[in-house]
Amino acid sequence: MPDTFDHVVVGGGIVGAATAWTISTRHPDRTVLLLDKEPEFGRHQTGHNSGVIHSGIYYTPGSLKADLCRAGAAATEQFAEEHGIPWRRIGKLLVATDERELAAMQALAERAAVNQIEATVLTGAELREREPHVAGLGALHVAATGITDYGAINRRLATLVEEAGGTLMRDTRVLGIRETAQEVVLTTSRGDVRAAHVVFCAGVQADRVAAMAGIDVDFAMVPFRGEYYDVRPERADLVDTLVYPIPDPELPFLGVHLTPTVDGGLNVGPNAVLGLSREGYPKFSFDRRDFRDIVTFPGMWHVARANVRTGARELRNSLSKRGYLRLCQKYCPSLRLDDLTPREAGIRAQAVMRDGSFVHDFLMRDTPRTLHVVNAPSPAATSALPIAGLIVDRVDGASA
C-alpha cells in the first residue's frame, strides 16, 4: 500500500464507493483509497435501503435533487444491467385515501409533468382494477419507478475500484484529521494515511467528522429510525406494484409503503422515529453520547416543538404493531396483523440546521483539501452515480 494517495474517500456506502470508482475511471493515473470503519462496505444506510429506484416525482422541478434523481435512475438501471445485478421496473402507485390527499395527488401530477416524468391519474375503480388489494379514491401511477439491490451495487462498485488499481481499507476508523497546505493526514486506527485530497461520505457521523476537520458545524446529523416489517412469504404476492401514501410535503419522509423486492419478497415501511443511537438498529437502542448530542442541539428543540403531533403519532405506531398496521390498511385493507413479521430497522441520517429546519437537498462543506458530503438524503442511493460525478467535479475544480 502506498504511503500517500492522490485521493482518499472515507465512507464506503454507495455514495462513497461510487465516488471512488468515478475518480478511478476519470483519472486512471491517480492513486485512490476507499476507507471504511466497518468490516464490510455499505453496512449502514445502503445496507438497510428499501431498494427503490426513484423516478424523482416528489422533488421541486429544477432542483438539484430532481435532476440528480432522474439521471440517477437511468444510471442505476444501466449499471445493474451491465453488471448482472437484479432490477425490475415495476411502477409505483401513490394512493389518495381522502379529499385532501386527492388535491395533493393532483399537485404531484402537475409536478411530474414539469419534471418530464410520465404519470397517469387513476380513478378509484381503475386503481382497484390494477391492484385488487389496494383501495383509495384515486391514485397516481408512475411507470418509471423500479427496484434493485443497492447492497449488491455497492459491493460491485468497491470491487471495480480495486480492479482499477485502487486500494480498499475496511475496519479502519478515522481518529483525527490534520490538513496542511500540501496534504491531509488522517490519523486512523491502523496508522496515518496521507492524501492530496480527501472526500468524506460519513453519513450519520458527518457532523462529527466535519468538526474533526476544523469546519464550523452549523448543523447536526439527527438519526431517524425507519422501522420495517416483512410480509410473510405466502402473502408476498399481495401487490405487484410499489404502493405509497401521498406524502406530507413538510416532512422529508415518504410514509409507510408496500415494497416488492427483487428476490420475490414484500416489505412494509419505513416509518420515521427519532433514534437515540446513531448506529443502533435493534428497537430501544440507546447511546449516551448520541442522546446528549440530540438534547443539547438547539435545532432539535425547534424540530420537537414544530412536530409534536407527528412525533407522538410515529412513536405510538412504532410501539404498537396494530397502529403500524392501520397506516398500511388505509390503502391496503386486506393486510392483516399476522402478515407482518419483524425486519431490521434502518437509520436515516438527516441534517438539521440550528434553526430547526430540515435540509431537504444535498449539502456539502469543504476546505482547500477536503470535501464533506453532509446531507445525501433519499434518493441518494438512486442518485449515487451522478452525485459521485458532481463530487468529483468539485474535487477537480478545487485541485485545478
Q: What's the pLDDT tens digit per position in 145-157?
A: 999 999 999 999 9
Q: 249 pLDDT band (50/70/90 cuts)? A: low
Cα distance between residue 180 and residue 369, in whole Å: 8
Q: For the packed helices 384-399 and 64-82, what is the interaxial angle rounded to 10 degrees?
A: 110
With 0-12 / 13-18 / 19 or more C-beta atoms within 10 angstroms meaning exposed / middle / buried, residue 292 is exposed
| % of the chain beyond a pLDDT of 70 | 94
Structural domains of the chain, ranges and CATH numbers in brackets: 1-88+146-218+354-399 (3.50.50.60)
Parallel, antiparallel or unpaired: strands 4-10 and 257-260: unpaired
Look up residue 171 and give its three cell numbers.
475496519
Band of the pLDDT at 251, cuts 50, 70, 90?
Answer: low
Cα 245 from Cα 253, distance rounded (Å): 11
Query: How do residues 42-101 score in pLDDT, each as one tens digit?
Result: 999 898 888 999 988 888 888 888 888 999 999 999 999 999 999 999 999 999 999 999
When computed from its CA atoms, the radius of gyration of the chain, rounded to whole angstroms, is: 21
